[in-house]
Chain A
Amino acid sequence: MSAQTPRGWWLTERELREWFQQLIADGTKLVGPVDEDDLRIFRQVTSADSISLAAGKTQWSPKEFLLPRSEPLYAYTFEDGAPRLRDPEPLLADQAIVGVRPCDAAGLARLDSVFLSGTRDPHYQRRRDRTTVVSLSCVDATPDCFCTAAGGTPHGEEGADAILIPLAGRWLLRSITPKGAGLLARQRHAWPESTAEHDVAAENQRRRVEESMRRSPVMPEWPALLDRAFDLPVWQHLGERCMSCSICSYVCPSCSCFDMQDEGNPWCGSLCRSWDSCTFGLFTRHASGHNPRPTQVERYRQRVLHKFAYFPMERDGRLMCVGCGRCILLCPAGIDIYEAVRAVVEAQRNEVGASERS
């Protein structure tokens, strides 16, 4: 960005809503947090007023707008006995996802590193290319939050194109990427620019929220420690209460595993990709009946190690967990992934200590 680019804009609530409404009017698919049935979830909205930017996080992350719960990967029909295969229809509109908490935006960045490095996934990519993410910094942290322990902050910019920071009844809006700048290009001339004082206030807010979080950081050496802890008995204790649902994976901003099944009949249908989870027994069960991960203990171990060992070891230490805390909050068995990681690290350290002493 050039030196003339303002550090941000200082918007009233009304200016913010008008901006959102203008985006809708311009044909952008606007997605934001909506309150519905005691839940806050991301929905496409037709009115900017239905978006809720109040404190607190949504029940699950907005990842379904980049990796839909289910989507056809191609469709097939038989015409005169010969199969015809068709790619999905092109996307018609750009989408803007607004009100994304920094942890969730970081989660989208994790999905990027799965789907856009190595073999690129065109279905993910085409959505990503047309998506702009406006994140929303946090004014408080709940006891399950641990973004700071997972390498993020309540004002984190990873994965976001622009960020909204609520301050004293108004909004500090910063653009982060050219995409973000593009999203506010039409309106920004009408907005007052923010000042250095706003930045100081934002910084203070960030610090205040960070200080309210109690969990200490995941250390850089933990992935390697965890990787060596595969055979420790501690997993039994951690995993046995797991009930093999997939709440943790489906509300997770970074979980990206999927299933592929034919939907339809021998004449017409599609190959359909749907979310899937390592917590399900069927996930790895071979047709022969053999299952490398037969019980929830092995499956829970996979979940933890994938996020905190395998993924970071491959990707510069970045965790496949962004510390949103939803899995801790919603797990029917009350399993706390952060505590689990700590327990395994400690068990591994004891193990190493014991073998060194002997």
Chain B
Amino acid sequence: MDNPYRPDLMRIVGVRDETPDVRTLELDFLDREAAREFSTAWGPGQFGHFTVWGAGECVFTIANAPPLRPAGGDVRIECTFRAIGKVTNALRGLASGEIIGFRGPYGNTFPVADWKGRDLMFIGGGIGMAALRSPIQYVLDRRAEFGQIVILNGARTASDLVYREEMWEWQKKDGVRVVRTVDPGGETPEWDGEVGLLPHVFERLALGPDGRAVVVCGPPVMLHFMFLSLEKLGYSPQQVVTTLENKMKCGIGLCGRCNIGPFFVCRDGPVVTWAQMQTMPKDM
């Protein structure tokens, strides 16, 4: 049976704590054929379903980009998750070497082809950065194809900031600017980044809309104010993309719960333009 619900087996080969409750896992396919099949379909922005047997499935974005040159059939994927529910807590309880299930990749990808030659800005709030990591890796791997890159990473407090180490690596690349910010009150004495809500920090940067593509990800309330700021600075809804998140079970357009109007997040998303979002009913 070609069973779309039966996951592939993956071994946890790396565990990294981003914050006290956010963790990144590195996963290798046990089966090379499964890995090959996966990599033919994989693009930045897609998501997958991760299984901890006995607890269930949960849905995360695949937090890394397909490698520029596949290393001989070995495919490694990463996911970054916050331990918040039954499955994520069970997943957090697993150690390196243990085996979990994975099915995917599902959904569409970021419009990376449209970004060629343009300046890019990535704005991530909290764990929303997880969705941005794969396009960021993708464009950094192909640095020459894109213009200036600004990465704006915000969190509630300094300890909630994800990808802290990686940001230094990103920063080192030519023409890449990383701005870190925490909400007022979230800073520590050692904090050397910005202080302020993401929309405010974004406005302070005063980067105009010309020739720039923007990717913004974060909680609904942050998106709401971010869009107001983008509008204020003259950005058009077509040049901004984001990713949608809804409760999902099947991931393949059948179980019927992730829809926003006729738009099924798993099938038609998760990547949408701000313009598309404006046409959707307020059912999110």
Residues of A within 8 A of B (CB): 73-74, 76, 78, 82-83, 85, 87-88, 114-115, 118-119, 121-123, 126, 227, 230-231, 256-262, 264-267, 269, 271, 273, 276, 278, 283-288, 290, 292-293, 298, 302, 305-306, 309-310, 313-314
Contacts and interface: CB of A to CB of B under 8 A. Distances in A.
A292 B263 CA distance: 14
A63 to B, nearest CB: 14
A230 B283 contact: yes
A288 B261 CA distance: 22
A69 to B, nearest CB: 15
B257 A278 contact: yes
B85 to A, nearest CB: 4
A262 B56 contact: yes
Given A271-B5, A310-B261, 4 more contacts: A76-B53, A257-B257, A273-B5, A283-B247
9 contacts: A257-B257, A264-B54, A265-B54, A287-B58, A287-B84, A292-B283, A292-B284, A306-B256, A310-B261
Nearest to A311: B262
A74 B5 contact: yes
Contacts of A278: 256-257
A264 B52 CA distance: 12
A92 to B, nearest CB: 15
A122 B4 contact: yes
B99 A284 contact: no
B255 A259 contact: yes
Contacts of A256: 254, 256
Contacts of B267: 118
A34 B252 CA distance: 36
B246 A284 contact: yes
A302 to B, nearest CB: 7
A257 B4 contact: no
A261 B51 CA distance: 10
B220 interface: yes
A266 B56 CA distance: 10
Interface in B49-84: 51-58, 84
Nearest to A228: B281
Contact of B252 (A76, A119, A264, A273): A119
Contacts of B118: none
A231 B99 CA distance: 46
Given A227-B261, A257-B255, A310-B261, A87 B282 contact: no
A310 B259 contact: yes
Nearest to B1: A87
A275 to B, nearest CB: 11
A288 B84 contact: yes
Interface of B: 1-7, 9, 51-58, 84-85, 88, 99, 101, 220, 245-247, 249-250, 252-257, 259-262, 267, 281-284
A8 B247 CA distance: 50
A262 B55 contact: yes
B54 A267 contact: yes
Contact of B255 (A85, A88, A260, A262): A260
Nearest to A255: B256
B54 A257 contact: no
A287 B248 CA distance: 11
A123 B254 CA distance: 12
A229 to B, nearest CB: 10
Nearest to A266: B54
A262 B4 contact: no
B257 A283 contact: yes
Contacts of A78: 53
Nearest to B5: A73
A119 B259 CA distance: 16
B6 A74 contact: yes
Given A118-B267, A260-B255, A286-B247, A73 B3 contact: yes
A284 B257 contact: yes
A310 B51 CA distance: 31
A120 to B, nearest CB: 8
A78 B101 CA distance: 13
Contacts of A74: 3, 5-6
Contacts of B3: 73-74, 87, 122-123
A77 to B, nearest CB: 9
A287 B255 CA distance: 17
B1 A83 contact: no
A119 B253 contact: yes
A88 B247 CA distance: 26
A123 B85 CA distance: 29
A306 B263 CA distance: 11
A246 B102 CA distance: 31
Contacts of A258: 249-250, 254-256
Contacts of A262: 51, 53-57
A12 B277 CA distance: 61
Contacts of A273: 5
Contacts of A121: 4, 254
B28 to A, nearest CB: 14
B169 to A, nearest CB: 30
Contacts of B85: 287
A83 B255 contact: no
A71 B245 CA distance: 27
A82 B31 CA distance: 13
B249 A260 contact: yes
A112 to B, nearest CB: 12
Contact of B9 (A83, A259, A298): A83
A152 B281 CA distance: 30
